[in-house]
Amino acid sequence: MAAPIISDDPIYRLLREGKIEIQGGRKSNSRKLELKAFQIIDLQDYIYVTRKEILSIRKTATKKLFMSLGESDRFNNLMFKLMKELKKQNSRIKTVKQIRASVITNWLKIHKLRKTQYLSGHRYISSTEMYQVGNIEELKTDIEKFHPIG
């Protein structure tokens, strides 16, 4: 039987709000991102099943949401192990930066530039602008309209 959910538990609040807070760093701003329903369910499974199993194997308490089975608490070590598994499942995946770039590019297709800047945690708008992909059809139309030979 699962342990009762305590309403003042910060992890419970995270699930209840349907948002996750990403801390800022030297190069990025903090931000709160909304979770989709399927993400909340997956995160809840991780928190109340997988994370508890990891904590019992490690025999050390931590407030960190994500951790590895190893002794290190460094997030980079965890990401290295996750990327290794992802590459086995999909050989086209090369780096975490590649995944991040595709997410930001997709955000730019559905959100305005400033919203994407916030979601990405970019301090400067120029960092977000680097991910903009020119729309080929718009460029063709502009060339036909404004090119002197057209």
- Same domain, residue pair 18 and 60: yes
Domain annotation covers residue 19: yes
Cβ–Cβ under 8 Å, residues 114 and 125? yes
Looking at 21, 41, 73, the residue that finishes a domain is 73
Looking at 16, 41, 73, the residue that finishes a domain is 73
pLDDT (0 to 100) of residue 4: 47
Residue 82: which of 120, 46, 36 has the closest Cα? Answer: 46
- Same domain, residue pair 69 and 106: no
pLDDT (0 to 100) of residue 100: 93
- Same domain, residue pair 67 and 4: yes
Residue 100: which of 71, 131, 124 has the closest Cα? Answer: 131
Number of structural domains the chain divides into: 2
Q: Which residues contact 28 (CB under 8 A, 6 or more apart)?
A: 120, 121, 122, 123
pLDDT (0 to 100) of residue 149: 65
pLDDT (0 to 100) of residue 81: 84
Collapsing DSSP to helix, strand or coil, 114 comes out as helix
- Same domain, residue pair 61 and 115: no
pLDDT (0 to 100) of residue 148: 62
**Which structural domain, as residue segments, surrounds residue 63?**
1-73
Looking at 20, 42, 73, the residue that finishes a domain is 73
Ordered per-residue pLDDT tens for the chain, 150 residues: 445 444 566 777 777 889 988 889 998 999 999 999 999 999 889 888 998 898 888 887 787 888 877 777 777 888 888 899 999 999 888 899 999 999 999 999 999 999 999 999 999 999 999 998 776 666 677 777 776 665
Domain annotation covers residue 78: no
| Alpha-carbon distance values, 148 to 136, 139, 143, 145 (Å) | 19, 15, 9, 9
Burial of 56 (0-12, 13-18, 19+ CB in 10 A): exposed
- pTM over cut 0.85: no
